[in-house]
Amino acid sequence: MERREKFETSSGIELPNDFNPQNTTIDFENEIGEAGEFPYTRGVRANMYRGRFWTMRQYAGFASAEESNARYKYLLSQGTTGLSVAFDLPTQIGLDSDDALAAGEVGKVGVAIDSLEDMLRLFDQIPLDTVSTSMTINATASTLLCLYLAVARKQNIAFDKVSGTIQNDILKEYIARGTYIYPPRPSLRLITDTFAFCAAEVPAWNTISISGYHIREAGSTAAQEIAFTLANGIAYVDAAISVGLKVDDFAPRLSFFFNSHNNLLEEIAKFRAARRLWAKIMKERFAAKNPKSLMLRFHTQTAGSTLTAQQPEVNVVRTTIQALAAVLGGTQSLHTNSMDEALSLPTERAARIALRTQQVIAHETGVADTVDALAGSYAIEELTYQLEQKAVDYIEKIDDLGGMLRAIEQGYVQREIQEAAYEYQKAVETKDAVVVGVNRFQTEETETIPILKVNEAVERAQIERLRALREKRDREKAENALTKLENSAKGTENLLPPILDCVENHVTVGEISNCLREVWGEYREAVTV
């Protein structure tokens, strides 16, 4: 088989035939540094996985709260060390299950959560003081956090004993994903209110997971993933400081979320470059003093966009390589995609294989036995340097445009991602980029694997429960709580306490979101060409 004539990474970094001291830019003796020391290129802890493994999460949630609860208990029994909740689309965009716009979507891509009753069923017999929970939720993140805290209160668990993460990254929704509700500026207020509330009340909670994952899934390069993610991070830090928060009061609880793609060496270098660049940004741009403010801690998920419906069992190989890159790059938390996710939500068997992939890497390969095993590799260090420089160029361009909010409003970031996605798709179609089983190495055989299907009865049952809740709750208390929230939204006070009061009085996710829609309006995406 002929090889291509030009060898380069997704970010356009040309690869020499042989990396060696003559064609690298790094001063190896002075620039590599140590793990656990600024700028943390080699990791945020001096002993990395020799102290403890990364948190092994499996993203899960479908149909009803009861079915998702059963999946969580199964995963915990199989060695998962943290939960990761997928919510259905109506929950993500602040619609109750009986909303006309929610029809056909209830419980389909995640679990349906309308109220505190649903959240109590979701975490039934799962003690929130011993399990760390990550929730992939953005526009309604503050509401879902309050629901989680209300469950903790029902379990008689103090808020300072609760740990986990909400994604809460609305800027990347405008860029790449689309599950926004409100315009950017009030959305940023919800985020900074969450920073302030958790700093005071829920100190072990990661208040945001600044996400490059969806930026990469939309088609960005590795360098763009670093740059646009960190530029979003800069915008959040600026927003928090602008409302009076001190950087070292909230920055230690910032976390990040990255994609792990197929190019093993580039991905390892990407994680190292992102960590180094963020440390410099926090120290030089924001004058952070607390070492924890400088540490880029991140969760990784293997690349869903690389999974193929053709020959789905080959996805196990892709996921293994991507997971290995994340571990060699120093991730703090990892989700491995299941082989069937190009076809459906994961079956229990597929999810177990994905979890076992992490466990084999942790316990059988030896890569977790030493810190930053590839440090000093000419290829890794040069790629780390080149990716950092390309990311810096993008961030400087965004600064010239007036910051990330202005860059998004002007469509700059979206256009850059669209162009990168177009170039990759062209390469696939011309077979310059090989996708095994899709544009080469196809087979005539049709592989059949079990598919998880959500029963249509789930939606009907969810709607019936929701309507019964509205009938039996104390209507006056619910209405008073919503009125307080509306008045708070019109003013400047922190919105988390009135949202918490709402959910504890059985106000629904849709009702809270509609209250805020009435005050702030809804965002309409500008067309970019």
> Distance between CA atoms of 317 and 256, rounded to whole angstroms?
25
> Distance between CA atoms of 192 and 198, rounded to whole angstroms?
10
Q: Which amino acid is present at 275?
A: R
> Distance between CA atoms of 282 and 280, rounded to whole angstroms?
6
Q: Which two tokens stand for residue 237?
A: 């830090």
> What pLDDT is recorded for position 378?
93
Q: What percent of the chain has pLDDT over 90?
A: 91
Q: Where are the beta strands (DSSP E) in 419-508?
A: none
> What pLDDT is recorded for position 21?
83
Q: What is the CATH number of domain 21-46+122-429?
A: 3.20.20.240
> Distance between CA atoms of 351 and 355, rounded to whole angstroms?
6
> What pLDDT is recorded for position 452?
86
Q: Where are the beta strands (DSSP E) in 243-305?
A: 254-260, 298-302
If one counts every other C-beta atom within 10 angstroms of the C-beta of residue 481, the result is 24
- In whole angstroms, what separates CA 397 from the centre of its chain? 25
> What pLDDT is recorded for position 525?
79
Q: Which amino acid is present at 514?
A: N
The answer to whether the beta carbons of residues 133 and 102 sit under 8 Å apart is no
Q: Which two tokens stand for residue 325?
A: 């890159």
> What pLDDT is recorded for position 526?
67
Long-range contacts, 147-153 (Cβ 8 Å, 24+): 147/113, 147/115, 147/116, 147/119, 147/503, 147/509, 148/119, 148/123, 149/202, 149/500, 150/116, 150/119, 150/500, 150/503, 150/504, 151/116, 151/119, 151/120, 151/123, 152/128, 153/504
The answer to whether the beta carbons of residues 207 and 233 sit under 8 Å apart is no
The verdict on whether omega for the bond into residue 203 sits within 30 degrees of 0, i.e. cis, is no
> What pLDDT is recorded for position 451?
87
Q: Which two tokens stand for residue 38?
A: 């600024």
pTM equals 0.94
Q: How far is CA 110 from CA 29, 62, 86, 107, 334, in A?
A: 49, 4, 5, 5, 19
> What pLDDT is recorded for position 28?
72
> What pLDDT is recorded for position 477?
98
> What pLDDT is recorded for position 22?
82
Helix (H) or strand (E) holding 213: helix 213-217
Q: Which two tokens stand for residue 466?
A: 């929701």
> What pLDDT is recorded for position 1?
53
User: Mean pLDDT across the chain, nearest whole number?
Assistant: 95
Backbone angles phi, psi at 258, to 5 degrees: -120, 160
Low-confidence spans in the chain with pLDDT less than 50: none
